[in-house]
């Protein structure tokens, strides 16, 4: 019967995109890119008919916080509590159900 080497360290996610990004991180980056591109195309084509500078200011005030939150969800990992997205899901479950926090 063949023997296989099993890695002993299971603390990190498997890096499948270029050896440096996990699939979860890649999905977050794609979502951020789509939102940012949509916002910039909205500014360039200006379907609402207001001035360019006002539209750019409003769009950037939405795009920048969304991008920062998305990047934090993709890359931030607290040394004690783990990934931020997992922590956020656990917090929402705790608040919704009032049960234990894991």
Range of the domain at 45: 15-76
- Report the number of distinct structural domains present in the chain: 1
pLDDT of 12 > 80? The answer is: no
Tell whether 26 is covered by a domain: yes
In the predicted model, what is the mean pLDDT of residues 12-39? 89
Q: Are 81 and 66 in contact (CB under 8 A)?
A: no
Tell whether 72 is covered by a domain: yes
Residue 44: exposure state from Cβ atoms within 10 A (0-12, 13-18, ≥19): exposed
- For residues 64-86, one letter each, b for 16 or more C-beta atoms within 10 angstroms of the residue's C-beta and e for the rest, the string is eeebeebeebbeeeeeeeebbbe
- Lowest mean pLDDT segment, chosen from 26-30, 81-85, 95-99: 95-99
Task: Identify the residue whose tokens are 């603390």.
Answer: 11
Tell whether 101 is covered by a domain: no
Residue 38 binned pLDDT confidence (cut-offs 50, 70, 90) = very high
Spatial distance between the Cα atoms of 90 and 102, rounded to a whole number of angstroms: 6
Pair type for strands 21-22 and 77-78: unpaired
């Amino acid at each position: 019967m063949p023997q296989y080497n099993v890695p002993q360290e299971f603390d990190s996610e498997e890096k499948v995109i270029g050896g440096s990004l996990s699939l979860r991180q890649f999905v977050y980056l794609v979502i951020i890119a789509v939102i940012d591109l949509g916002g910039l195309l909205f500014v360039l084509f200006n379907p609402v008919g207001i001035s360019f500078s006002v539209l750019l200011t409003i769009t950037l005030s939405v795009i920048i916080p969304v991008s920062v939150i998305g990047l934090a969800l993709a890359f931030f990992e607290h040394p004690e509590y783990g990934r931020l997205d997992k922590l956020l899901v656990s917090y929402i479950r705790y608040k919704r159900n009032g049960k234990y926090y894991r």
